[in-house]
Every structure is written in C-alpha cells, then in structure tokens.
Structure 1
C-alpha cells in the first residue's frame, strides 16, 4: 500500500510527498494580465504543498473570460510569472502554470480587445458573468473557423514556451470545467460538421492537437492536462457518449507520455477505474469537498498517484505542516476568494503565527 507521504518522481522532478495544490482562480492579476506582486507571496507561502498548479492563465486575448486573470503571452507576463516561480523554487516547491482558454465563457467587457467570445459553435452557455458593470448575460459566441482553430493551437504552444521561459516546471492544459477544450468535447457546445465536430474522434481532436503541439514545444515531461468527465459546468452536457469519449481521449493522450493527467472526479467510479487502467503516467485526482478523514485514501487504494486539494490549501498556507501535526485547519472565506487585494489571499495564519501572535 502506497502512503501519501511517500516521495514521488514526476518526470525529472522529485516531489517530497503525494499532495498537490489544485488550480484556483483568484482574480488578482494586474489589468494587463501580469501577476501582481502579491502572487509571488501567495504561491511562495504554499510551496510546501509540493506540486503547485497555478490559477487558470490565458494564452491570448481571446482566452480571457474573467476580470483580473493572468496571461502568459507577453514579455510583461513572463516577467511577472518569473517572480512567482522564483518564490516557489526558493521555498522548495514546484509550479506548473495552467493554460486556460475560456472560449465562450467570457464577456467583451472583461477582455483586452473587447471582442465577441469565440467557441466551437455559436451557442451561448446560458449563464451570467461578473463584470465591472455587475452581473451580465454572457453573449452568444462566434464560431471559430478552421484556420482560427489552428491559430489557437499555436497560441497554446507559444504560451507553453513562455511559461518555461518564466521558470515554470511545466504547464497544465485546462481541458475541464466548461472552457474551450471542454466545449469542443461536448455536443451541447459543439455542433460543427467539419473535422472538429460530430463523432467522438472529431470532438476530441482539438484537445489532442493542443497537447501534441505543447509536447513538441516543451517536451512531454513538462506537459499535463486536466479533465472533468461528467461535469455540467457552464452549460456543458456531454451526452450519453461522454464516458466513451473520455476513454478514447485518455487513450490517445496516453500515447504522448504526458507528465500527468489531472481529473476533477465527480463520482463515475467505473470510468475512473477504466482511466486508471489505461493511463500509464502519473494520475492526480481532485475530489470536491473531500472530508479530512479521507485524505490519502485514493493514494492508499492505488486509485491515484497524487491527490490535489484546493480550498484547504488556499486557507492553509501550511497545509502540509498542519496535517503532519494533526492540527486544526483554517476555514476559507468565500467572500474574499475573488475580492482582490491581500485580504483572504496572503493573510491566512500559519500554525507558527497562531501560536506566536507577537511575531506577526
């Protein structure tokens, strides 16, 4: 039986245990998409989590959906992320930057170019988004042309290269949560009749092309992907073929030898078992709202190689130390998850600070 405290190798990286920090949007980047100076402190505080997966980071202007999210496609973005990667490395951690193109989950008011969102097909998600004017309906997107799809693949490729230039240990492709890659996978968002729509192989094509391009650019050992089978987020409905689509997609991605596959797991244990069987590299599982007494259960059962945690690490910069000491955990303040500024970002107390308040 594998223990979650056992070290693990991830390509050439040596990780001290089998925990990871899940990607979490924090909406604190500068208006130009450069990570703020607070970001280096935020990620550096959590370096003991071992493998840190950054918040979703857009590979282009078209890729932005939410206010104050970071990018990784300009020199300024690279400079900002270099401060973050240095802070994490100096404290012994490793960082993969998550590349997130939101596709149709966007609003013109939130993007640098103020243009209509893009997507596989001109189908709105039927949701609202926060803007500086308040909550507004997400407009109908514009369907990408085949040439534009090729250009978007190149955007991902270049963003991956820029992430490595910024000192990241790798990149995680965001193929989950109803964003662009997930939109291509789902018939509710993809009604195309060309090579990117229709059957399972065609709907999986974009995800595979993005992963292949990034592998060619930075190497398989620095390339990973996150998927969320069955997740009905942002108007996504994968239909009855959903499980078979993921069996096919994971099999094709497995051929690329990626560093890891990161699953947001929502309960289809049969599909999870099939993926575990067909995936030959590291498998990370993130279960929403996992109770504390179940921490380590997936690793112990052999279901996962690494377990990812989000809000627990958000609220506990010393999450690892607290677990080792069997100490209480801070509760996250949902009111400050996306509020901006230092509050609820870099001011969660550590055990050391709580026991010695005079030192803070």
Structure 2
C-alpha cells in the first residue's frame, strides 16, 4: 500500500522534507510506501522546477486542491507560520493526515484551533504530527533513553542554547523570518522552540514557568520585495524588524529541575550551534549538534581517580535509528533527522497510533513561547505556563 503525500512549500524545509520522503522507504522497512504525489507552490514555474529537482510527480498552485485529490492522503506543511493553522485545519477536516513544521502556529489561539481540529480528525482515524526533527537525532533519542533508565538520577539542571549568526550583518534583508506577521516571533519561535522541545523531550518533564528577556539588535533592514511579504521596492528603502533577535530565559520544570535557555541569531561565528546539558543527582549528559553523532555521559558512581565525561559514539546498530544505515563509526547528518521523522510517522499511521510530537505537544511548546514573550514584555516577571487540557 502507498501513502500519497502532498507537500505545501518547497524552500529550505521543503527540500529537507523531500529528501526524507525520497529516502525513508529505501533504508527502512515501512508498512506504507511514501508516494511523492504533488508539490504545491504559488508560482507555477518555480514550483514545477522544484518538483522536478526534488522528486515530486505533479504540481498544484493552490493548496486547497490537495484536499480534493484522491492520490493525497497526507498533507505536509512546509510554509511560513502564518499559514499553518488555515492549511492544517482544512486538511484535517477534509480527512487528510497532516505533518506540520514547527513551531505549530504563530499564536496560542491558532495552535488551539489546530489541536481542536486534530482531536476531531483523530476520532475518524486521521492523524497529525508537528515536526520537531531534532528529537530524531540518534544521540538525542539515546539521551532520552538514558534519562528514562535512571542513569543520571533525578534531573536538577538543564542548560540549552541554540546559536546562529546569519543576520549579524545589518544590511541583511528583511526576509519573512524577521516579520512578526509572517513568522510570529524571531529567534524565540524559529530556534528557541527547538531547544524547548528538546529539553522537555530528553528530561520527560514539562516547563511550568519562565522569566525572560528578549532583544532586537537591528531594528530596520533593507526591503526585498514580494518575497518578504512587503511591497516591491527594487531594493530601495528599509522596513521595521518587529521580532526578537535574541531570547534568554530561566525556567522551572514540574519535578523541580531548573533551566536556562538562550536562542539567538546574533552569535557571530556560530552557524547552527545547538547544545543541551542535563545534570542529574547521579550523572550528566551533554549533546552538541556540532558533534551530532556523539553524546557525552558522566557517571557519578565512577571511581573519582578515573571519573570523567565519557564520549559515546552513537553509531552502533543498537542505538536509535542507526541500525538501518551504515556500519559502526560511519556518522549520520542533519538530513537523516527528517528521514527518521517520516519513518516514525508512517509506522504510526499504518498502526493506527498517535504520532509524537502531537499537535497538543506543539501547543504546549507554543504556551512556553507565549509565556517567554509576555515575561519579556513585562520586565522579566515570572510567568506560569498554562497546562494543555
């Protein structure tokens, strides 16, 4: 049996998702064969070129057409955040499974509407998942396993950072990720969402409150025309940056652990530096995406004379996801995380089980982001995080 996929959007995330749909069934035994049925984009010429390059069989210029096609059973949403809710709700109500890029939406209200649609659809056997791909890094999945096994004891401290530098130049243009109307927030939603989800995933615990500050270092940038969602200007003129460039916040988990988070796109020299450290009563774990095939583990019960952080090379066939790929010692890359995402999703769809992270999980992250933004607006005051019901 096949799973017909219709994907909306074909830029950075669209290319990553396409790679995943192309390769998942070639390395993993899947109960359903992904069929890359149709790519959707507003520009027919550009979408056609992208479909040919990325491996899609057909093209549509209106995402609503995907909802009427018999060869599409799942809609994969790789568009800016301001379109997530409309597309996802319509697709679920039309009986299509949905994979939606993170963050789930641009606001809590939109995320709630998406969760409601997911619950309606679930009653009819229609499933949904939000795409936090870093959960599928083998070393991150191994870290979660070790925490679940009690290898580091009671979690006490969490430190999470995600550092980039792609907008350090003040003449970098005002692209859609720098506009609140399109992106919802800046570094907070773009990369901060990842470390919030990763910290909660690895610890198996949820944040209950935060105290935050945000900063926008460059408040005006050159306009770039229609691609930014602004009126065309031929490169002349400047527009306002109305999202954060950096977000820093403290947090507390429900079981008592304390945490610090930093997300910035102004860490000069850092390209995609994601790091998570978890300290427990009996040990510690450290993951650094710049060495993504490794996990550092400290066992607090080791002899002090020889104790130290142990480097685990996460390439053994017993490690999460790794057995389908290469012999031990042959590392994986960023693109594999999306393949693992697709593998888990397809297997859950075939089994009739709920994929994770769910839209409810995506809403919970959205509530954290919202609390961070409100805390920053109110002088870093402590803001409790509402529970998802």
The verdict on a shared fold, with TM-score over 0.5 as the criterion, is no
Q: Which has the higher strand share?
A: 2
Q: Indicate the structure (1 or 2) with the bigger Cα radius of gyration.
A: 2
- TM normalised by structure 1 equals 0.30
